[in-house]
Structure formats: structure tokens, C-alpha cells
Chain A
Amino acid sequence: MSETKKTYWKGLAQLKNDPNYVKHADKEFVDLAVAEDPGHSRRDFLKMMGFSVAAASLAACEAPIRKAIPYVMKPVDADPGIPNYYASSYVNGGDYCSIVVKVRDGRPIKIEGNSLSSVTLGGTSAQVEASVLSLYDNYRLRGPKKGETSTDWETIDKEITTKLAEIAGKGGAIRIVSNTVLSPSTLATIAKFKEKYPTTEHIQYDQVSAYGILKANEESFGASIIPSYDFSKAKTIVSINADFLGTWISPIEFTKQYAITREVSEDRREMSRHFQFESNLSLTGANADYRTPIRPSQEGLVVVQLYNLIAAKAGKGNLSASIDKVEHLEKAANELWENKGSSLVVSGSNDKAVQVVVNAINELLGNYGVTINRELPVNFRKGNDEAMLAFVNEAKEGKIGGVIFYNCNPVYDHPMGEELGAALKNIALSVSTSYTPDETASASAYMAPDHHYLESWNDFEPKENTFSLSQPAISPIFKTRQAQESFSIWAGGSNEDYFSVVQANWKNWFYDKKDGLDFQAFWDKALYDGVFTAPSEEIKISAFAANLEAAASSISSNYKASSNSDELVIFEGYGVGNGSQANNPLLQELPDPITKAVWDHYVTISQKDAKKWGITNDAEGFTQHLTLTVKNKSITLPALIQPGQAEGTLGVALGYGRTKVGAVAENIGVNVYPLVSLLNGSLNYSASEVKVEKASKEFQLAQTQIHQTYMGRESVIQEATLAEFKENPKAGRDEPKITQWDDHVDASSLSLWKGYDYNNHHWGMAIDLNTCTGCGSCVVACNVENNVAIVGKDEVVRRREMHWLRIDRYYSSPEGTAINDYDGLEKAAENPEVTFQPMLCQHCNNASCETVCPVAATTHSTEGLNQMTYNRCIGTRYCANNCPYKVRRFNWFKYHDNQKFYQSNPAMNTDLGRMVLNPEVTVRSRGVMEKCSFCVQRIQAGKLNAKRERRPVKDGEVVTACQASCTSGAIVFGDMNNPESRISKLLKIDNTKVIKKEDGTEETVFNYSFDKKIGNPRAYRVLEEVGVKPNIFYLTKIRNKDKAKENA
């Protein structure tokens, strides 16, 4: 069979043997679309669209994850919701306070004074109270840095150690620069460092130096010390430019002592008399009985004149410098002499010569051993101005090999800071241990951040043989390291933690087996108490021996009795202080006790000079700038007209003009440290020959109080002189009467309301206007305790600060102003008397706010509290309008989680800052009213505690935040239904009433009525005539003056 050779083609393509066909010949079905690529198919499109829609919606729906992780193993002392308290110490340079830290859920949220301390005696200050927020400062360094780049500890340790060894090997000078170091263990660590690198020198300096006192005491007594002062024993106090209640040496301690001498009652009709000679109106001057404005250039001469007046009485010779009559000086001298041995003369001067003469005055008066204790020197200011200047000069000359700045910021806060900053570039090794990248840290090559003090272990010796500990209240938030450990590592030592070092030191230094305690028990007690006093050794102080004539001639050449030039006075403010805590909004928004200005840097000028320079301050803080030129350095600042400012002087505060500081304090004011000069080897915080020019720029200052006088309203401020008070304890009381058709009756006796009883507690408060110094620590304490929003300058200018507690400061009007001369009363006197009045919700029993709220959001409790229900508030503001005390605060905006308030209110707008908020107090939303609650969360905690222990609440168990922070003890809070409570005793409340029974007999029963009979003749309710019957009583202000309304 022949094979058929027939071929069947699939098509023409096969016949032609088309390469395109051959390529796909093995496929059964020809893919017709091979030649054309359609790109993305419809299905792709659908897939992609589906994916994107799903992805977009998933991304949009994603809820922020907030992790709340329960403890697997609960730490022993941490109970959620229950605060722990740790004794510790606040130290900032040489400023010291023994404190108790309140820790909730591992976060420090509040600081209070430690009453076991023999130094600060349980007091605090605004800066101490505010420092808890600095822990959560967003500007803090997150870890070590080399220049601008973050690195780790191993790297910088290696580099620093190598460089130190190199420098030491070449014999180059190494310097450790710090502020006053109070810590003995730190000094021991530095000493070890010095052993390793023998070319090391430790230089201490202070932003506001007291080197003049150290030198004067060395000359007078052979010991370079600052003695302890005891104002509580002084019957006559004379202060020449020493702001001892505000900033000088140890203000917390002095405030405590001073308050003791200012407390008067029916039974104790005596108080100290305080003379103040100063240029700026300081907090201390505002509290003085007699105040004389002097120029800084007269300061030395005033001191010499005082010496001469007293020496004349003591039968000693005159010194050769003199000044004409200084108002009140002779009177002061007479009274000092009368109260020999129980008087005190202090001077804020940093001039050795002046301090020598002050020493001589106190010696003549026999004050040593009584009001001044040389045997118990204090360590708050150990800075050596000369050594520091020498260091800066060496640095400039390139003689320094390496420098470590231990928690100090001289580039900002030293007069030659700018030159130092420039010189640092040429120094082989520069390290800063500051916890923020401040001016000095930024100028240094390495940043090796220390812990915040609330994260660290340390020990301190504020006074000779008086010690205290600080312990961490939180584990370090960032990768910071205790500076002492850094020193130890750089010195090649072991990286033993500093806690063990401190403990070991204490074992060596203080542990005394004789007590029978084992060391652990001794240590635990010291740590629990936070303070420890070592047995003191006898200190030998030689008798007073100084060349007074030399001092006097130095004074007569440096000071002038009169001058035509304008003079600058540089001082430390009460809010941001020396500037180290400038980035703390609590302090920026703390009204200056005197000027009531916030967020601003300004120059204070006298009323007369204001006229001369054409400066006008209107009621809303609009002002003009002044340019001050001191030795070719100029600064331009807005001017604030300050009653009481000495004519021809200008006051400017330190602490502003920080450049590397964080969002809060950026661009506020100018740095005036460069204007500080040198006099007799120490820093001089004044300058003469100041050229003043008005600059054209307008400015608006933010002040929380824009009306300065109390307009003669005696139902607001009730005051008397001591002489009047001695005659009549009711002196100064204004008891408003109401005229009925036939009679005059007490305003308080008439009411539309029926009255009611408080059958359980009846909370009340008494505020002593005489012991209140106006310092403002209560304001900060209240802000921290109650999560009060900080609103920033713009909102303060709109008069919307949120403070629940404010301190009203009133100046007296010019002498002889008639009570109906309203325009006259509006003006403050040239050198006014000053009154401070803390003002907070008065918790009225017939509260005018409660009746007007349409939704009953503010109501009265059964314990006398006027309470605010935020949830219920709809924000009509009627309550605030109808409040005679204007203490209610409205949330005009959302102050939390709002970028608009990021800069001013980090505590509510940053994750870090929020950690400071008190979980027991609601953060208020926008549109609701808020106000003082008498710290109702503390009342509740106290009551619950008592209930758990099945007992009544004890007096003193419930303490409001303001009361706790009040160093002078002016605020007393308690249960007025408890006859044994401090407030009942202070107000002399008569808790009984007589009722008539049906059978005609009378019976005395306990009086639970809201309207208690108050027996203290000094106690008054502000605006008694309105009839709202507050639960807060004020005690009259008593001035120790010879006659009323005498010019201060």
C-alpha cells in the first residue's frame, strides 16, 4: 500500500511556515491576542480599585491604640489609684527644699514640703511646686548626644575618657564647672575624678552670687561662710536690699521664720517691725512696715550711716562715709538699739565692704548667737565669682584642655557667657550634663544628660551637719544617666550605680553603731524621713575683727549720696527666677507677686521717671519700650510703671532671653546677665550711668490684675496699725450696717434666706492677711493639684487666665485721698503700702451663683462646699457674672488636645506633659465653668480613709493644696463643726446655741447652723454686705506702724 503523502495544513500560516506560527505551534489553541498587549485588564482595575478602597477605608477607620497593660506581677508598693509619697529633696543650683513627692501609678504628680526638715520646715516655693512639670518637659534630652547627633553612652564614654586621658597626659587643665554643689557624695565623686586627673579643678559659681558675704565673713570671722539667720527671734528687722522673703539665700526658711513674728491675735498683740531700704519694690519690701526707696548707689552709704547711728549709741567712733538724712533710718537705728540682741540687719549687697559693715552692725547689736548663727553655716551659695571669672579668661586664652559643665548653664547665666560660648569651640573637650540642650550644652561638644532630680539618687547638706536625701520617684523616662555615674565612669572607675555610692558614703560618714540600729534600719529611716541631722562638732569662730575703716573708704569711693544719672537694678524674679526653669509654663504664667505681669520681661520704672520719659501705661498694659544702655551694651524692653520704685532707678529681672530653652520660653525678653558687672571682686547686680531712651515700639503687657488699688473699699481690705490693734482687737474692722426705717442693723443679720444646718462636717477656711507674704506658691500648687489650664500670653491679655486661686495685690492710694474721689483713688501712691489678698471661691452659704444656674450645675453640698458639676454645665456664664468675687473661670476654648495651646499648655497637649495631670481631677472640656473646689478630691480621700478605719475625720487629715504649699501658714482649712479643729480655735467659733423648749426652759445645744458665731475679732468675710455668707474668713491686716496710713 503506497503511503499517501497528503499533508493537511491547519491553515495558511502553517503552509507558509510563518515564524509567528512556529513559535506557538505546540499550542492546541492559537492565542489570538498574543501580538497585542492590553496592559492592565479590567480585572486588574477592579482588583486595584477594590484594594485601594479597602486600604483607604481601613486606614481611615484605624482607631488609635491606647495600651493599658495590667500588671502581671504587681510591684509591692504600687496600687493603682492609690498615691505613694516619697521624701526627697528639690535642688536647683544652690536653691534647696526638702520635699515629699506624691506619686500616682508611677508618676510624680505633686510636690509638697517636708515638715521634718529643720531647714525648710515644710515650706515650699512656687519654683519647687512647679518643678514637677519640668520632669515632663518636652525639651529634655532623650539620651546622650555628640554635637547635634544622638549617640549612645558607650560611644561618648569612650571618646570622653580617651580625650580626658590625652589632656591629662599632656598636663592640660581640666575644669568641672557647676553651680553651688550641696551634695557631699557628689563632691566626693568629683574628688575621685580629681584624683584620676590631677589637673582638674572644680569651680562653683552662682547665678545670683553671695560671694560678697562669704568674703566679708572670712574677713570678719576668718571663715568663708554664710551663717544661719533666724528671723523668728527678731523684733526689729532691717533689710537693705535683701529680698529675704523672695529670693535671698534661703527664702522658704526665712518666710517661715518671718511669719512667726507677724502673727498677731487678741492674746498676742505684738509683732516684729520691719524696715526695708531698697530700689525695686520687692516682695519683702511689700511686706515691710516702713519702706524707703533708695538708689543702689546709696546702698553702701545707708549701711554706713546705720552703723554710725548705732555706733553713736554704743559709744563707738563714726565711720568716714556718710549720707544725708535717709527717711526712717534714724527710727530704724533707734529701734534696733532698743531691741539689742533680738534684732537683725541684713543686706542683699554682694559687695564685701558693705557686708563687713553689716557684720559690724550686727556685732554691735549683739545679734550673733541669737538671730545670726555662725556656728550653723549654710551651703546655699558657695560660688566663687573670682574663680569663675578666672576660668572664663583662661578658656578665652585657650589654657583649658577640657571642661565639664555639671548641671549649669554659664553660657547663658554668666556675665561673660557669650565669650565663654565662643571659647568652647577651641577647647579640646567640652561636656555638659544638663538635662536639656540648653545654651551651654548646645555650645559643648558632648551632651551627657543627667536625670531630672525626681529621677535621681543624691544626698545634700544644705546646712552644716544637716543632711537630706533625694530618691527617684519615677524610673528614668529617657536614656539619661546620673551625672555622678558619668564622672565615675570617665574617671575610669567602675560603673557602680550612684545609689550604692551614696549608701556606702552614708554608712561611712553617719552610721553610728552606738544607736543599736543596723545600717539598713538607719538608712530606711533616713530615706523615709528624707532628712538626717548628724551630731555637730564644735566649730571655732574667731571674734569679729575686720578693718572697718578700709571698708568705709571703699564704700565712700564706690557709692554716692546723690546722683543725677539713672541706675539699673538687676534682680531675680519670683516666677522663672534665675532662668533655669524658664521653660516651665506654670512659672511663666505665675503672676509676679508685685506687678501681676505674666509671660513678659519688662523694666520697672518709677512714676516720676515715667513722666520724664513720656511713658504711659494704660489700664490694659499698653506701654512703650525703653532702650537702656550700660557701657555700650543696650537692651530694649517694655516699661512698666512701678509704684514704690526708687526714682532714677530701673529694675530688670534675670531669667529671660533664653535662646536654647524649648517652646514655652522662646522669644521672651532679653538676657541681662551680660549687664552684671564686677565690684570688689564679686558680681554687682546694679549699674549706674545708664542711658535711657524711649523707643518708639508699642507693647502690651499681660497682667492678671489691671486695677491697682482697692478704691478705699473697706469691706474688701480691712487693716489697722498695731497701735490701734493693741487698743482694740477689732481695729480696722468694717462692719457694714443696713438702714431700716427705724434702725441701723448689721448687714449680716438680714437675709431673705431661712438658713440651714450642716449636720456633719462644715468645711471652712481662714486666711491671715498678716502672715500671707503674697509669694504665689499656693497659686502654682493649686494649678498642679487641680489640672488648671495654662492659657498663654494672648489669652491673659484677654483677661482669661484660669487660676482658681489668685492673689489680689492692692496698692494704697496717695495719702489723704478722699473716699469719694474715685479718680484719685484709682492711682497708686508714689511709695505705696501693699496688701495681698488670696482670693478663691468663697464657698458662700447663700451662694449667688447657685440660684442663677438654669440647669443646677452648681449646687451646695451638705458640708458647706459650693460644688461645680462639670458634666451638667452648659456654659451660660450667669454664675460667673453673678459672683461678687469673680473667682469663676470659663473654658473659653478647648485647652487640652488643641495645637493652639501646645506652646503654653504642654501639660495637656503633649504625651509627655500629660503624665503630670492629677487623675483625681477631671480635665475640663470647653464651654464649662470651673472654680476652686476646696480640693474636694482631698476631702473625699480623707473621709474615705477615716471611714475605712471607722473613725471620724481628724483635724489636719484633710489639707488643701494651697494650705499645704503655704510656707507662712496663712491658710488654715478645716471642719468648723469640730470644736477641736485648728480653724474652730483660730476663729474662736462658738459652737453652742440656746434653744427654748416647750416647757419654757432653755437648753444649750450644739450649733450646726451654717452661720457660726465667730469670736475672733480680726475675722471678717469679704463683702459682708452682699449677704452671701462665705465659708472663708480673712483676718485683718495689721501693720506695725506708729500711725495709720503713714507713708510706707
Chain B
Amino acid sequence: MQATSTIREPLITGGKTVRDVSEDISRQVEGKPTSLWWIAMVVSLVLLFWGFYCLCYQQWNGVGVWGLNKTVGWAWDITNFVWWVGIGHAGTLISAILLLFRQRWRMSINRAAEAMTIFAVICAATFPFVHMGRLWLGFYWVFPLPNTWGSLWANFNSPLLWDVFAISTYFTVSLVFWYMGLIPDFAVIRDRAVRMGHKTRALVYNALSFGWDGAARTWSRYESVALILAGLSTPLVLSVHTIVSMDFATSVIPGWHTTIFPPYFVAGAIFSGFAMVLTLLLITRKMFRLEDYITIYHIELMNIIIIITGSIVGIAYITEFFVAWYGQVPAEYYAFYNRATGPYWWAYWSMMTCNVISPQLFWFKKIRTNLVATFVLSIIVNIGMWFERFVIIVTSLHRDYLPSSWSMFHATIYDVGEYVFTFGFFFAAFLLFAKYFPVINMAEVKSIVKSTSEKKH
């Protein structure tokens, strides 16, 4: 396994020893939260509670408190859903595909990325639920549960049902994968707690680590399970967003009815996921002083992935237009004309600017190794990806086949509120994770410390 090229820069800098790793990572868990953490937590909770109020108000009064109408039946709800699901993809990609490809640089970022996946999928899943007119029935009718209604069952033709399976499988596998990786690290914290005489902490982390004993046989099993789960997760990276894209691709609405959607959505998902990982890690890195573990090199590699996926997405946009022109189907042709020049032109051009043009700046090494630039661009990319979904959903629906039904969508405070709710949840959950769970996979990082972090003399 020790085939590392000596020419490579070390992945972990600062001449960290194995003990340093345990010390640096566990310190966050054991110490008191910093004031920065508290500020961030309070802000997140404020967002969470205000968003929760909006959510309750919407559930109490009806979906009508949103800005939807007879023509535009989905807008922010499904936009947010697709956006959050997309973000989750980076975590799985990093932990599964990069594991299989033996990309060692993934080791210091996979934990946080996976946590992000879990929280993003939870955020995403709120929208299909709250967008229902009758959540109190829909939340279990969408599952193929045995019932006494005779042949009345879920409709397996519906892409929404496929979503239910795709998302729930994805969530389960991601959760198990993430948690399994945490087990040896929990054991480290437990052991340190025992040494320091913190009884309660030792008890809690012992339970969390399922009594991990660190025996060679345990490690061996651990690694095989990791590999198996990585194998299971790999198709999910491709399948989840493929299925989400089928919500649109299998429909008859011009602008939705497109065979290009599955690969285009997957690329977009990875694109936005990496951007979100960057946003989060740059904050975590700063907050917990993990500069030696998450180095410029990591950031540069992620930026390269952003250029690649961003360019794929850009090509997809152009292909859609080409096909609309080449196909000469009037409704299709108009749908794309309307995207670029209709009343929602601003959304389209925001998307183009943020997703296609701005990532091209990463061709410059100076920019892709600059922390501030990366942080700003990572946020811009996520704004762009939100607009992409908005453009696909709203501008396709608002002017479809019969001009008599063409209309406009205007978001209300409650549309915004429920988006904010998921932000509140996401950041609060991430902050709790960052405080109480080891944010970097100590066990894995230790495996690369020796060979790659020798001090340069």
C-alpha cells in the first residue's frame, strides 16, 4: 500500500506525528466550544426557528401561502430539493469513488463531506414532504406499505416514487458508511477520556464506538466493510441524481422532456457538492485550525474537479440549445428561446454566469490556490446551481404548450422561509457535528502521516 511517489508534496503538513493527529482532532471534541462556534450556532438557530415558523404556517394554512399557481405547480420547493440532493453528492463521491480510486488526498476531507451529505439529504427530503398538499397522508402513502385498501398501492410508474426509493436508499447507505468510519475515531476519544478521567465522556463515546477494541481482526473487518460500502455507494453517486432528473426527463413538458438530463444532473450535482464542501471546509479549517490537515493542495484538487464538472454542465447547457434548434419542435424551441430572453432571463443568465463562466477562473493557478477566491467562487457556484434548478423548473412550466395558461411565479416570504429553515438545520447540524464528532478521519489520516508529512529540512 505504500506506493506513494516521493515527488509528491506531503498531504499533511507541519510534520505531524500520529500522536499529533489524535491530539489536534480530539482537542475540538474535548474542549469548550469557541465563541466563534457559539456565534455561528446562534445564527443557525435563529434561521432554524424562523424557518420552522414559516414551515408551520404553511402546513397550517395550506400550500397556497407559497407563490405557486395553476401553471407553476413547483418552484422553490423542488428547486431546493434538487439543489440539496445535488450538494450531497460530493460526500459520496469523495468517500466512495475516490476511495476506490485510491485517492489519498480524500482522507482529510471525507468525514466532513460525508456529514454534509447526510445533512444535505435530510434538508432535501423535507421538501418533497412539505410540498405535499396533504402531508398527513402523503408521508406514508408514498411508501408501498401493506394496507387494507385492496389494489390501491403506490404507483410504480411515477418518478416521484422512484425518488422515494432513491433518496431513502441513498440516505441509509450514506449514514451507515459515515457512521462506520466514525467508530475507530470515537474509540480514540474514549481512550483519551479514560486516560483523562472523564467518566461520562468515556461512557458516551464507548457506546458510540460500539466498544471498539482496536484488535487487528477488528481493523481487518473494518476495512473490508469500508470497501464493500464504498462499492455499494458508488452506483448511488450516479443513480440518485439520475432518478431525480427523471422527475423532469420523463414528463411531456418542453424543457423537461430531455434525454440529456441524467448525466447533466449528475455532473451538476458533483459540481455543486464540491463547491459546498469547499465552503464548509474553509470555514471548519479556519475555525478549528486544521490548516495542516486540509492544505492548499486539497483545495486545489477540489477546484480542479469544479472546473471539470462546471465545464461538463456548460456543455450540457449548450447542447440543450443546440438540440432545441436542431430538433425544430416549436414548443421545445420556444421553451429555450424563452429561457434566455423571456421574463426569467435574469435567472438564466445568473445561472450561466455563475456555473459556466465563473469556474473558468480556476484555470489560473493563482486563483485556485487562493483561499478567499475559492471561498467566494464556491458560494457563487452554489448560487448558480440553485438558479439552474429554478430555470429548469420554473421557466419550463411558466410557459408551456397553451399560451392561455402562461403565467408568472413570484416567491413569497414563506417560500424563502422554508429554504432558510433548511439552512438553519444544515448549519446547526454541521456545527454540532464539528463540535462533538471528530471532523477529520483520524484513523485514515494516521495512515498517511508517516509517509507524507516528514518535516522538510
Chain A interface residues (CB < 8 Å from chain B):
619-620, 705-707, 709-711, 713, 715-716, 795, 798-801, 806, 808-810, 822, 837, 839, 848, 851-856, 872-878, 880-882, 884-886, 888-894, 925-929, 1022-1023, 1025-1026, 1028
Contacts and interface: CB of A to CB of B under 8 A. Distances in A.
B132 A927 contact: yes
27 contacts: A620-B408, A713-B330, A715-B330, A799-B71, A822-B334, A822-B337, A822-B338, A851-B155, A854-B154, A854-B158, A854-B164, A855-B138, A855-B154, A856-B152, A872-B152, A874-B132, A874-B137, A875-B134, A875-B138, A877-B133, A880-B70, A884-B400, A885-B401, A886-B401, A890-B133, A1023-B401, A1026-B401
Contacts of B343: 619
Contacts of A711: 334, 403
B408 A619 contact: yes
Interface string B137-163: 110011000000000111101111100
B15 interface: no
Interface in B227-270: 247, 250-253
Contacts of A837: 404
Given A799-B71, A1023-B401, A874 B253 contact: no
A891 B62 CA distance: 8
Contacts of B69: 798-800
Given A619-B408, A853-B155, A886-B402, A873 B64 contact: no
Contact of B132 (A709, A875, A1026): A875
Q: Most A CB atoms within 10 A — which of B67, B70, B405?
A: B70
Contacts of A925: 134
A876 B70 contact: no
B404 A707 contact: yes
Interface in B105-156: 128, 131-135, 137-138, 141-142, 152-155
A886 B70 contact: yes
B37 interface: no
Given A713-B330, A894-B62, A927-B62, A880 B132 contact: no
Contacts of B160: 852-854, 876, 878
Contacts of A882: 251-253
Nearest to B393: A881
Contact of B406 (A707, A856, A890): A707
Interface in B25-72: 61-64, 67-71
B397 interface: yes
B138 A874 contact: yes
B158 A878 contact: yes
Contacts of A890: 63, 68, 70, 73, 133
B172 interface: no
B74 interface: yes
A706 B252 contact: no
A713 B251 CA distance: 21
B156 to A, nearest CB: 9
A1022 B331 CA distance: 13
Contacts of A927: 62-63, 132-134
Nearest to A826: B403
A810 B403 CA distance: 9
Given A822-B338, A926-B62, 5 more contacts: A620-B408, A716-B402, A716-B403, A881-B251, A882-B251
A901 B41 CA distance: 42
A620 B71 CA distance: 14
Nearest to B138: A874
B63 A875 contact: yes
Query: Chain A interface mostly helix, strand, loop or mixed?
Result: loop
Lowest 6 CB-CB distances: which A-B pairs, in order?
Answer: A875-B133, A927-B133, A892-B64, A874-B138, A877-B73, A808-B404
A928 B252 contact: no
A855 B142 contact: yes
Given A711-B334, A873-B134, A886 B68 contact: no
A894 B161 CA distance: 27
B218 interface: no
Contacts of A878: 73-74, 158, 160, 247
B407 interface: yes
Contacts of A795: 64
A799 B408 CA distance: 9
Nearest to A881: B73
B141 A800 contact: no
Contacts of B329: 1025
Nearest to A712: B330
A874 B141 contact: yes
A1022 B403 CA distance: 13
Interface of B: 61-64, 67-71, 73-74, 128, 131-135, 137-138, 141-142, 152-155, 157-161, 164, 247, 250-253, 329-331, 334, 337-338, 341, 343, 397, 399-408
Contacts of A710: 403-404
A120 B421 CA distance: 60
Contacts of B253: 881-882, 884
Contact of A706 (B67, B400, B401, B407): B407
Given A822-B334, A855-B141, A855-B142, A848 B251 contact: yes
Given A852-B158, A890-B133, A881 B67 contact: no
Contacts of A620: 408
Given A874-B132, A877-B73, A927-B133, A855 B403 contact: no
Given A848-B251, A873-B134, A926-B133, A884 B158 contact: no
A810 B406 CA distance: 13
Contact of A893 (B64, B74, B252): B64
B132 A876 contact: yes
A928 B159 contact: no
A893 B61 contact: yes
B259 to A, nearest CB: 13
Nearest to A706: B407
A810 B141 contact: no
Contacts of B64: 795, 798, 800, 892-893
B309 to A, nearest CB: 28
A705 B161 CA distance: 33
A706 B406 CA distance: 7
A141 B62 CA distance: 36
Contacts of A839: 402, 404
A524 to B, nearest CB: 48
A889 B71 CA distance: 9
A602 to B, nearest CB: 20
B61 to A, nearest CB: 7
Q: Most B CB atoms within 10 A — which of A713, A872, A886, A925?
A: A886
B62 A892 contact: yes
A891 B133 contact: yes
Nearest to B155: A856
Nearest to B327: A739
A926 B155 CA distance: 22
Q: Most A CB atoms within 10 A — which of B133, B142, B155, B341?
A: B133
A713 B403 CA distance: 9
Contacts of B134: 873-875, 925-928
A82 to B, nearest CB: 30
Nearest to B401: A884
Contact of B159 (A705, A852, A877, A894): A852
B334 A799 contact: no
Contacts of A619: 343, 408
Q: Most A CB atoms within 10 A — which of B135, B341, B404?
A: B404
Nearest to A798: B69
A60 to B, nearest CB: 21
Contacts of B334: 711, 822
A799 B132 contact: no
A193 B330 CA distance: 71
Given A710-B403, A822-B337, A889-B70, A852 B251 contact: yes
Contacts of A853: 155, 158, 160
Nearest to A872: B152
